[in-house]
């Protein structure tokens, strides 16, 4: 008996439909916004979902202090929700720090893990009481020693980012031996060698990256100890993935794996363990509502145009992130290329998108859109960034 061929477009559409129905099930207040948005493009953020995700992370990783990466979504209501839960914050700029401090967050709950920081930010952070900074170069040590004496510094080591949708290993990080040398140099300059950090890459679905990161951190820790350096902290960065067009690793499974790695490579745990989730907390708590503004067929390719784009909120599409798309329509599914609102030919949001035939004026739903959307958005070509409603 011959098996029926599986249509990948149908599978893709069914996945997006289930994702959309998950959002619908969150409550009538979200349903009303999805079907009668006050404007488009509109980003709807579910604050109860943000809370639940944070508490899930704390439940499965109770030994870790959570420092939410503000760069993922810096909306004041998102930050306040996390602040009220006791979250710490990771910031990279004076503006991010000011947003956090304005909520009454104590500077002891703030760190800065960007290895290359503007001098004016270091000065503002230090004067505000923030004194924990990541480094991965001797030049950065000199800068911090001059501007923020006696600060605590933690060195960033490089680890593989294979299996991460948004790799970060090329721009930052050093090898183990260089890391030891940087910490020694920091001590000579009057800074406090505080710890080690690494990043497995944003949206990581590869357990091996955490394996290499913790193994290398353990090696550096022992070499630093042999040099007389008494480190206190291990920071395992971000990387916790969310569901886009495929299922993602669960927080529970990552936590179980990380616990096992720590027991194997660092049985005498550091005094402090840190984690910096950004996307992992807010990513799948947001959905973007936009409108179809045009359709065309070009060289036998069906195009759909929407009232947002890569310059106005969906910049991660340029780097490989693939969103799920859904329209509330019946009918046969066909393949579309989704173009953005601007007149720039680079403004292509996605190709090979499975949708039934939409019409101009229909709402198109993009999921998940809670992370790295509004923070990346600009008013290029005069088009607005998405409005945000937190519910």
Residues annotated as catalytic are 343
| E strand residue ranges, the chain | 42-45, 64-69, 88-90, 110-111, 132-135, 152-156, 164-166, 192-197, 202-204, 233-235, 272-275, 286-298, 301-306, 324-326, 333-339, 348-356, 363-367, 387-390
Total H helices, total E strands in the chain: 11, 18
Residue 364, token pair as written in the block: 């198109």
Beta pairing partners, 302: 297
Residue 110, token pair as written in the block: 């703030």
3-state secondary structure of 295: strand
- Gap between the Cα atoms of 382 and 379, Å rounded: 5
Residue 246, token pair as written in the block: 């495929």
Give the CA angle between residues 40, 43, 49 to the nearest 5°: 150
3-state secondary structure of 145: helix
Q: What is the DSSP string of 364-382?
A: EEEE--SSSSTTT---GGG
- Gap between the Cα atoms of 42 and 37, Å rounded: 7
- Gap between the Cα atoms of 97 and 71, Å rounded: 11
Q: Which of 164, 156, 160 is nearest to 111 (CA)?
A: 156
Q: Which residue has the tokens 């949206």?
A: 203
Give the CA angle between residues 214, 218, 224 to the nearest 5°: 140
């Amino acid at each position: 008996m011959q098996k029926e061929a599986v249509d990948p477009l149908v599978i893709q559409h069914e996945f997006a439909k289930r994702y959309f129905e998950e959002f619908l099930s969150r409550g009538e207040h979200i349903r009303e916004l999805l079907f009668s948005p006050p404007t488009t493009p509109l980003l709807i953020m579910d604050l109860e979902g943000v809370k639940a995700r944070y508490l899930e992370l704390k439940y499965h990783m109770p030994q870790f202090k959570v420092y939410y990466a503000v760069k993922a979504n810096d909306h004041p209501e998102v930050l306040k929700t996390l602040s009220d839960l006791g979250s710490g914050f990771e910031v990279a700029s004076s503006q991010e720090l000011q947003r956090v401090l304005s909520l009454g967050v104590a500077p002891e709950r703030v760190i800065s893990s960007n290895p290359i920081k503007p001098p004016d930010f270091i000065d503002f952070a230090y004067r505000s009481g923030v004194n924990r900074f990541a480094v991965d170069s001797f030049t950065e040590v000199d800068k911090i020693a001059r501007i923020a004496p006696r600060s605590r510094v933690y060195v960033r080591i490089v680890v593989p980012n294979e299996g991460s949708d948004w790799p970060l290993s090329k721009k930052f990080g050093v090898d183990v031996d260089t890391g030891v040398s940087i910490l020694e140099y920091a001590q000579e300059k009057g800074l406090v060698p505080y710890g080690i950090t690494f990043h497995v890459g944003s949206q990581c679905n590869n357990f091996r990256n955490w394996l290499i990161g913790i193994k290398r951190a353990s090696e550096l820790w022992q070499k630093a100890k042999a040099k007389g350096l008494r480190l206190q902290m291990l920071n395992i960065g971000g990387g916790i993935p969310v569901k886009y067009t495929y299922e993602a690793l669960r927080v529970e499974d990552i936590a179980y794996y990380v616990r096992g790695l720590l027991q194997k490579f660092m049985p005498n745990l550091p005094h402090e363990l840190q984690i910096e989730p950004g996307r992992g907390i807010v990513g799948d708590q947001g959905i973007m509502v936009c409108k179809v503004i045009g359709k065309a067929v070009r060289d036998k390719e069906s195009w759909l145009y929407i009232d947002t784009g890569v310059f106005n909120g969906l910049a991660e599409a340029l780097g490989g992130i693939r969103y799920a798309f859904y329209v509330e329509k019946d009918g046969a599914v066909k393949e579309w290329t989704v173009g953005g609102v601007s007149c720039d030919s680079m403004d292509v949001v996605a190709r090979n998108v499975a949708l039934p035939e939409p019409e101009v004026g229909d709402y198109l739903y993009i999921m998940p859109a809670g992370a790295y959307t509004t923070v990346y958005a600009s008013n290029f070509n005069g088009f607005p960034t998405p409005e945000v409603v937190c519910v």
